[in-house]
Structure 1
Amino acid sequence: MNHNVRTIVFRCLDLLPDNVGRKMHHQLQNLLENKVLYVRIKRTENTFDEFVKICEAIKIDLNQKSIIEIGSGWLPIFPYFLLYLGKVKNVFSFDLNEHYQKKRIANFNSIFSKNYNTTIDALFNSKYNLPDGVHYYPGENIINSKIPDADIVVSRFVLEHVAPNDIFEMHQKLRNSLKKGTHIVHFISPSDHRAHGDITLSLQDFLKYSKPEWDAIQTKFDYHNRLRLPQYLDIFKSLGLEVVYLTFDTVKEGTAQYDLFKKVNIHSDYNSFSTEELTAGSINIVLKI
């Protein structure tokens, strides 16, 4: 969807009573998800492959481990990769919203079974057609939840949509609840998501706005905190979390993305950051409690 149209749609939904706006947003997302399901499965597989590589690089054995997922999304795609390909024991998936639907997951179970040559036996009494080993906690903020015993915490493209104060409180809760040595793995996409559907827009376009200006554009349906890499690192280090793995990419001089970036009139709020820090994207980071 064109980013201008998307913004107009979200702002209209934001004007409706909260329960009505969220219901209509849910229906719209269901429609869009159905159209791109196979693309989303493939993208999630790519992230899973990267997750496995990261675990191998820092000597984490996934076999029979328990994992907390922050941000369940619309389908249990990543938990299934963890369970059936990664051979983990349990995935505890937390989400502020309740997006899972029994009928859609039944269809997804069939697709995943066929594509990955596995058998998914949904539990007879499962509200969402989930198999043993996938535990879903919808409508729960992990900051206020009881944290299950786990070996690894993972999020996929979630942190950029979380308010900075909540990122701090979330990691404070994890640090205080989980055993020392537990790893926290984050895949973060700090770029302007509007540019993902518009190649004429810089991935840093939203950095031209002041906070009030940006808050007037975004809504609760497409919130983006715009944090730069050093700001994430400051939050993690302030809690005494050890950074044991970090990779990211940046725009390269001479590329189309670099040219687009140079045209952006970066707001003075970001004057203290270098070009590398402003453009750091596709952040993969592992923290250790």
Structure 2
Amino acid sequence: MQKWKQKAIVQKIISFLPLSQQINYIFQKYVTKGVNLSDEYFYDRLAHARDHLKAFQKYGNKPIPATCLEIGTGWYPIVPISFFLVGTDQIYSVDISFLTSKKRIKTTLEKLVTCYDLGQLKNHFDFIPSKLEITQDILLKYDTLSLEEILQKLNIIYLIEDARKLSLAGNSVDLINSNNTFEHIYPDILIPIMAEFNRVVKKQNGVMSHFIDLSDHFAHLDSSINIYNFLQFSDLEWKWIDNSIQPQNRLRIYDYKQIYSDLKIPISEESFREGNLGELTQISLADKFKNKPLEETAISHCHFISNMAKKEGSSKTFSI
């Protein structure tokens, strides 16, 4: 049996169990090795932090966001700590469950300090030396500090709540960002989340910056399939394959653009990875994907930047 099918079956079973997220973490750690903080994942998220910051500096009318909000931070808070290092005062992370831990935060801090020691951190953003010193001091005193004290020192506030009903005031957040999270949220939930983001982001000089991975995530594990494998299934078939542990909504770039348009959220800049038409045409597409432009269906990654002060106007498009 192909690896992706094995993983799909296991995660489907886990999704029905109590403490499913904790069980999945153990499965990922010891079986698929998918939760270790690899250099590839670390530097990818560091690049995202850099690009979020650049987006804000371009449209936010000041060099650093005083307040930022990230959805779906996951096990390793690389981007939130990056914003601490550049001087953000309040860093919110919203998720349906608390996925990180004291140990995983320590791993993240150690990785960032190593990156600095190698002279690579400065290549991503201009960190504040005194903030880096705080992270180093935290590591020196780590065993004597509680998780709450560590998060407080890093200006990070976890919001474990429904992102459709945030506890934040309207018009209060400078920057809202995400990193390959939207593809794991079904449209009936994503749309009200985006509407809520539209409520809490500042209307003058507020910015949204969202990276979306449109590839079949099972292909990251199994080289026998390509990144469009999941597009061959009907919605009913995919419902049986998909799971609540790591759901994949299969939305394409045109679907996301429609959501933005319906909610009147501007796309001031968009960049995308064209994908591979040759690989896409190897797949017998399900009916819902057949009548769409193949070039758009093939796009595998995209990045949308929204200048909230400018509700209208043409967007700039770049390929990555």
Q: Secondary structure at the match of 2:26?
A: helix
Q: How does 1:263-282 map to 2 (within 5 A)?
A: 263-282=282-301
Aligned AA for 1:133? N
Aligned AA for 2:184? H
Match of 1:188 among 204, 212, 234: 212
Give CA deviations for 1:11-40 in whole Å, capped at 9, x if unaligned.
23134x333x33311323455356444332
58 and 144 in structure 1: CA distance in 2 versus 1, 3 angstrom threshold? closer
Q: Secondary structure at the match of 1:227?
A: coil
How far has the Cα of 1:154 moved from its partner? Answer: 0.2
The corresponding residue for 2:125 is none
The corresponding residue for 2:41 is 40
Aligned AA for 1:274? P
196 and 107 in structure 1: CA distance in 2 versus 1, 3 angstrom threshold? closer
Give CA deviations for 1:149-199 in whole Å, capped at 9, x if unaligned.
210100100000111021110121222333313221110001111122333
The corresponding residue for 1:238 is 262
Contact 1:230 1:277 survives alignment (8 Å) = yes
179 and 45 in structure 1: CA distance in 2 versus 1, 3 angstrom threshold? closer
- TM-score by length of structure 2 reads 0.79
Q: Secondary structure at the match of 2:168?
A: coil
Aligned AA for 2:203? K
- Listed as ranges, the gaps of 5+ residues in structure 2 are 118-131, 309-320
The corresponding residue for 1:18 is 18
Tell me the matched-pair count: 280
Give CA deviations for 1:100-153 in whole Å, capped at 9, x if unaligned.
212332343334234325231559554373233111223x12112212521010
Match of 2:155 among 130, 133, 141: 133
Root-mean-square deviation over aligned CA pairs: 2.4
| Mapped partners of 2:146, 2:18: distance in 1 | 31
| Mapped partners of 1:166, 1:3: distance in 2 | 26
Contact 2:55 2:209 survives alignment (8 Å) = no
Aligned AA for 1:75? Y
- TM-score by length of structure 1 reads 0.86
The corresponding residue for 2:101 is 101
Contact 1:204 1:278 survives alignment (8 Å) = no
How far has the Cα of 1:47 moved from its partner? Answer: 1.9
Match of 2:188 among 145, 162, 165: 165
Q: How does 1:1-289 map to 2 (within 5 A)?
A: 2-15=3-16, 17-19=17-19, 21-31=20-30, 32=33, 35-58=36-59, 61-84=62-85, 86-116=86-116, 118-119=132-133, 120=135, 121-122=137-138, 124=145, 126-127=147-148, 129-130=150-151, 131-138=153-160, 140-147=161-168, 149-181=172-204, 182-251=206-275, 257-289=276-308
Using the TM superposition, name which of 214-223 and 167-176 deviates more. Answer: 167-176
| Mapped partners of 1:177, 1:63: distance in 2 | 18
